[in-house]
Amino acid sequence: MTTLVLSLQPDNPCNTTITDANGKLLYSVKTEYGKICITYVRNSNDEVIASSRWREYLPDKVTIGDKRPTSLNDWLHKSIVPFVDELTFNDDGERKYKWKGWSAGRSLELFSVEDGFKDPIAHFIKMKKDYSTRPPTESTPAQLVFTSRGEEIRDTVVISFLFLEKTRRMKKDLSQNVMGIPGMGGLAARTIAYYNGL
């Protein structure tokens, strides 16, 4: 049963504010752009709870809380073929979780080992647009939806979702048109794309 709905405005995992149904700010996400690009995730007390240093040819380097920096792939483990859109991780209590839906065209859903990864404990709903207006406008913001079980690890859900969704969208953008920007290397092109909220 859904117990918490968080809205992301705008729908950009690198720069967004995350609020509850009452409009209370729970998280803010901001990326500092330069020779080194770093995304910071802050809680409602404006404390940095996670950061991700972008890397062009290697997985991003992430820092969770006061833990040592680690590769994103060392924290969120990719599954092997044929389950290439699944990633797993353990919480501090060594309970195992699995994100599904990481491939193009799908939406991320989080499952727990406790019920055999049967029912999602959190899932992402894409932003909906009203195409009756010109240009189209946002009718429903992007949302992260939690069950009570998902709320138990809310920070971890939010952080892992943001970093995974950023990587997924980057790959999608690069495969479509971002690399077509004349004279732009991969990281420079991606920086421009996300600075402009693509």
pLDDT digits (tens, 9 = 90+) for 149-178: 999 999 999 999 999 999 988 877 665 544
- Domain boundaries 2-175, corresponding CATH code: 2.40.160
Structure tokens given for 152:
């138990």
Fill in the DSSP letter of residue 114.
G
What residues does each domain of the chain span?
2-175
pLDDT of 190 over the 80 cut: no
Higher pLDDT, 152 or 180: 152
How much is the pTM?
0.85
Whole-number Cα distances in Å, 95 to 24, 88, 90, 92, 147 = 29, 10, 5, 7, 17
Q: Which pLDDT band holds residue 83 (cuts at 50, 70, 90)?
A: low
What percent of the chain is predicted at pLDDT more than 70? 83
The arithmetic mean of pLDDT across residues 35-44, rounded, is 97
